Protein backbone atom coordinates (compact mmCIF):
# COMPACT_ATOMS: atom_id res chain seq x y z
CA UNK A 1 0.00 0.00 0.00
CA UNK A 2 2.79 2.43 0.84
CA UNK A 3 4.61 1.69 -2.42
CA UNK A 4 1.49 2.47 -4.46
CA UNK A 5 1.03 5.69 -2.55
CA UNK A 6 4.59 6.78 -3.25
CA UNK A 7 4.26 6.03 -6.95
CA UNK A 8 0.96 7.80 -7.46
CA UNK A 9 0.98 11.51 -8.35
CA UNK A 10 -0.20 13.73 -5.55
CA UNK A 11 -1.26 17.32 -4.91
CA UNK A 12 2.27 18.29 -3.85
CA UNK A 13 4.06 17.12 -7.01
CA UNK A 14 3.85 20.50 -8.74
CA UNK A 15 4.84 23.43 -6.47
CA UNK A 16 3.23 25.93 -8.84
CA UNK A 17 -0.24 24.64 -7.91
CA UNK A 18 0.32 25.12 -4.17
CA UNK A 19 -1.02 28.30 -2.51
CA UNK A 20 1.42 31.18 -2.16
CA UNK A 21 1.47 30.87 1.63
CA UNK A 22 2.92 27.37 1.29
CA UNK A 23 5.49 28.55 -1.25
CA UNK A 24 6.61 31.45 0.99
CA UNK A 25 6.34 33.96 -1.84
CA UNK A 26 3.63 36.23 -0.55
CA UNK A 27 1.22 36.08 2.32
CA UNK A 28 1.27 33.84 5.33
CA UNK A 29 -2.35 32.93 5.75
CA UNK A 30 -3.98 29.74 4.58
CA UNK A 31 -4.22 30.91 0.97
CA UNK A 32 -1.78 33.78 0.47
CA UNK A 33 -2.73 36.74 -1.68
CA UNK A 34 -3.26 40.33 -0.67
CA UNK A 35 -2.40 41.20 2.91
CA UNK A 36 -4.83 39.58 5.25
CA UNK A 37 -6.62 42.03 7.51
CA UNK A 38 -8.04 39.32 9.76
CA UNK A 39 -6.23 38.30 12.95
CA UNK A 40 -3.52 35.66 12.66
CA UNK A 41 -1.62 33.66 15.26
CA UNK A 42 1.40 35.97 15.42
CA UNK A 43 3.00 38.97 13.66
CA UNK A 44 -0.47 40.42 13.71
CA UNK A 45 0.34 44.13 13.56
CA UNK A 46 -0.81 46.46 10.81
CA UNK A 47 0.39 50.01 10.21
CA UNK A 48 -1.94 52.34 8.32
CA UNK A 49 -0.51 55.52 6.83
CA UNK A 50 -2.88 57.99 5.19
CA UNK A 51 -2.21 61.05 3.03
CA UNK A 52 -4.62 63.09 0.93
CA UNK A 53 -4.09 60.83 -2.11
CA UNK A 54 -3.03 57.42 -0.71
CA UNK A 55 -3.57 54.93 2.07
CA UNK A 56 -0.90 52.33 2.81
CA UNK A 57 -1.55 49.23 4.91
CA UNK A 58 1.71 47.61 6.01
CA UNK A 59 1.47 44.06 7.32
CA UNK A 60 4.13 43.11 9.89
CA UNK A 61 4.56 39.60 8.50
CA UNK A 62 6.93 39.86 5.50
CA UNK A 63 6.27 43.63 5.35
CA UNK A 64 3.72 43.42 2.55
CA UNK A 65 2.47 46.92 1.76
CA UNK A 66 -0.95 47.42 0.17
CA UNK A 67 -1.07 50.87 -1.41
CA UNK A 68 -4.52 52.24 -2.14
CA UNK A 69 -4.81 55.23 -4.46
CA UNK A 70 -7.74 57.47 -3.59
CA UNK A 71 -10.19 58.88 -6.14
CA UNK A 72 -8.19 57.69 -9.15
CA UNK A 73 -8.73 55.37 -12.10
CA UNK A 74 -7.44 51.80 -12.22
CA UNK A 75 -4.26 51.00 -14.12
CA UNK A 76 -4.77 49.47 -17.59
CA UNK A 77 -5.88 45.82 -17.43
CA UNK A 78 -2.61 44.59 -18.95
CA UNK A 79 -0.68 45.84 -15.88
CA UNK A 80 -0.82 43.03 -13.32
CA UNK A 81 0.48 43.23 -9.75
CA UNK A 82 0.99 40.66 -6.99
CA UNK A 83 -1.34 42.57 -4.68
CA UNK A 84 -3.62 43.84 -7.43
CA UNK A 85 -4.41 47.46 -8.27
CA UNK A 86 -6.30 49.02 -5.35
CA UNK A 87 -8.32 52.20 -5.80
CA UNK A 88 -10.41 53.59 -2.97
CA UNK A 89 -12.90 56.31 -2.16
CA UNK A 90 -14.70 57.46 0.96
CA UNK A 91 -18.44 56.83 1.26
CA UNK A 92 -19.17 58.90 4.35
CA UNK A 93 -16.97 57.39 7.08
CA UNK A 94 -16.44 54.13 5.18
CA UNK A 95 -13.41 53.49 2.97
CA UNK A 96 -14.51 51.51 -0.11
CA UNK A 97 -11.65 49.71 -1.88
CA UNK A 98 -11.92 48.14 -5.34
CA UNK A 99 -8.98 45.89 -6.23
CA UNK A 100 -8.48 44.51 -9.76
CA UNK A 101 -5.64 43.37 -12.04
CA UNK A 102 -4.29 40.63 -9.79
CA UNK A 103 -1.33 38.66 -11.04
CA UNK A 104 -2.96 35.23 -11.57
CA UNK A 105 -1.45 33.41 -8.54
CA UNK A 106 -3.01 35.91 -6.14
CA UNK A 107 -6.41 36.43 -7.70
CA UNK A 108 -9.45 36.85 -5.46
CA UNK A 109 -10.42 33.18 -5.70
CA UNK A 110 -7.14 32.24 -4.00
CA UNK A 111 -7.08 35.20 -1.66
CA UNK A 112 -8.25 35.83 1.85
CA UNK A 113 -8.82 39.54 1.47
Confidence of residue 111 (pLDDT cuts 50, 70, 90): very low
Please provide the average confidence, as pLDDT, over all residues in the chain: 73
Q: Are 88 and 69 in contact (CB under 8 A)?
A: yes
Q: Stretch 79-87: mean pLDDT, rounded?
A: 86
**What are the sequence ranges of the domains in the chain?**
2-110
pLDDT per residue over 2-17, tens digit each?
565 556 656 666 666 6
Q: Stretch 37-48: mean pLDDT, rounded?
A: 70
Amino acid sequence: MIENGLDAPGPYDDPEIRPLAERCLLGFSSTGGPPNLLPALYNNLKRIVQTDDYIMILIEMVHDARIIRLNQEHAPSNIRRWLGDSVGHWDGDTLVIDTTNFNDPTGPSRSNA
